[in-house]
Chain A
């Protein structure tokens, strides 16, 4: 069993660190203070990035789930699990940063703002996904069940989105649409945002690869253990 380090593995960590460094610089120093909100607004750069990571993870879990149900190869199950774990992580951080941002700006820790609510629902779906895996006795069956949840989640996403937005008013502070067009006009702010998004996306990818490698190695260890000392 060899551990090859591919080019991506070698390049990814330093590139991520570099971009993250640049992003943090821009976010904390480079970009100017927001006219209305003051320095607190800077958290937005991280918050948006968390959001991007959460949604990417969600999409990934959905795709992996579908592919697992169709192809039944273990790889997709691992991708689904890794994606869900990272998704849960970034979702939690997203909720936390959103909350921290909300307190000084809107005066409360939590509002039933549609985006926050949506993120909360996603968080619960992620948590249910991971809990489901842990509570099933047979790992193969667990993988199938979790995949069903994964597919359902993605199929439902648009509907949840619509429902939550209709239920509540619009996101007050910054209006952001899917393409990433923002209400930000200052080029430095825009740069900070883009760098931040890129940095966290790279971080997400790096962590995903690490997690997948760890899962694959675990699978190898299990198989070897089985060969050397078979028995149930």
Chain B
């Protein structure tokens, strides 16, 4: 099975600043990886690069076996991004949005699948109201529905638990855990180390665009991880490039 993600000296520069700087790593298929790091470390940029929303300045990137730059469409077919924005058209209803995306992704039997997902995520009550009227929790659920429709090979998550109430968190966690069990590769950025431990089996730590550490989280209790994480950030060398 090819690696789900293969990064090789991947860099993204904005003018003089490097948001992602020479990151190389590999994520095997079916893994659940936590992408950790302080604010501004480049986590979101890295996710955007992996979903082809951004073009790399240099380096190579392969997702699910396809090159992100040359075979963008193939990558996008297999990758989904769940982030702060729901990517839902405010003036259309949930069902209309989902049907639109189902058709866009050429999902077979679109109407039936949309129906299934709406029921599965308990959206039936709001299904025909314009998205503009949705609360944050409902938006997230609808966004999740969009992702589930697509059945991606790799799911990228950008701080998905932010702003959710307890019930929504539990639901999202359950959905993600199920996806992981079904073989989807998860890459999740989060500031919540507890959540990271509960869902993920390994972690990547970024700082100032560079990869500080990559390893498994097995056996780490929350206390260990916090300590380890703090140590990493404290002892990281200052950026003086040769």
Q: Which residues of A line the B interface, CB within 8 A?
A: 138-140, 222-223, 225-227, 230, 232
A138/B239 in contact, CB under 8 A = no
A138 vs B15: C-alpha distance in the bound complex, in angstroms? 7
- Which residues in A have their C-beta under 8 angstroms from that of B16? 222-223, 225-226
Q: List 19 A-B residue pairs with CB atoms under 8 Å apart, sorted by A's residue number.
A: A138-B14, A138-B15, A139-B14, A139-B15, A140-B13, A140-B14, A140-B15, A140-B57, A222-B16, A223-B16, A225-B16, A226-B16, A226-B17, A227-B241, A230-B208, A230-B239, A230-B241, A232-B17, A232-B40
A219–chain B nearest beta-carbon distance, Å:
10
**Residue of B with least CB distance to A139:** B15
- Which residues in B have their C-beta under 8 angstroms from that of A223? 16
Residues of chain B from 220 to 242 with CB closer than 8 A to chain A in the complex: 239, 241
A232 vs B209: C-alpha distance in the bound complex, in angstroms? 11
A157 vs B15: C-alpha distance in the bound complex, in angstroms? 31
**Residue of B with least CB distance to A138:** B14
- Number of B residues with CB within 8 Å of any CB on chain A: 10
B237–chain A nearest beta-carbon distance, Å:
12
Q: Tell me the dominant secondary structure on chain B's binding face.
A: loop
**Residue of B with least CB distance to A225:** B16
- Which residues in A have their C-beta under 8 angstroms from that of B13? 140
Q: Apart from A225-B16, A230-B239, what 10 extra A-B contacts exist at CB < 8 Å?
A: A138-B15, A139-B14, A140-B57, A223-B16, A226-B16, A226-B17, A230-B208, A230-B241, A232-B17, A232-B40
**Residue of A with least CB distance to B14:** A138
A228–chain B nearest beta-carbon distance, Å:
9
**Residue of A with least CB distance to B13:** A140
B239–chain A nearest beta-carbon distance, Å:
5
- For the complex of A and B, 5 pairs with smallest distance between CB atoms: A232-B17, A139-B15, A226-B16, A230-B239, A222-B16
**Residue of B with least CB distance to A226:** B16
- Which residues in B have their C-beta under 8 angstroms from that of A139? 14-15
- Which residues in A have their C-beta under 8 angstroms from that of B40? 232
B131–chain A nearest beta-carbon distance, Å:
29
B39–chain A nearest beta-carbon distance, Å:
11
A164–chain B nearest beta-carbon distance, Å:
38
**Residue of A with least CB distance to B208:** A230
B174–chain A nearest beta-carbon distance, Å:
38
A230 vs B13: C-alpha distance in the bound complex, in angstroms? 13
- Which residues in A have their C-beta under 8 angstroms from that of B15? 138-140
- Which residues in A have their C-beta under 8 angstroms from that of B14? 138-140
- Which residues in A have their C-beta under 8 angstroms from that of B241? 227, 230
**Residue of A with least CB distance to B241:** A227
A169–chain B nearest beta-carbon distance, Å:
49
A140 vs B57: C-alpha distance in the bound complex, in angstroms? 10
Residues of chain B from 170 to 212 with CB closer than 8 A to chain A in the complex: 208
B156–chain A nearest beta-carbon distance, Å:
22
Residues of chain B from 53 to 98 with CB closer than 8 A to chain A in the complex: 57
A160–chain B nearest beta-carbon distance, Å:
32
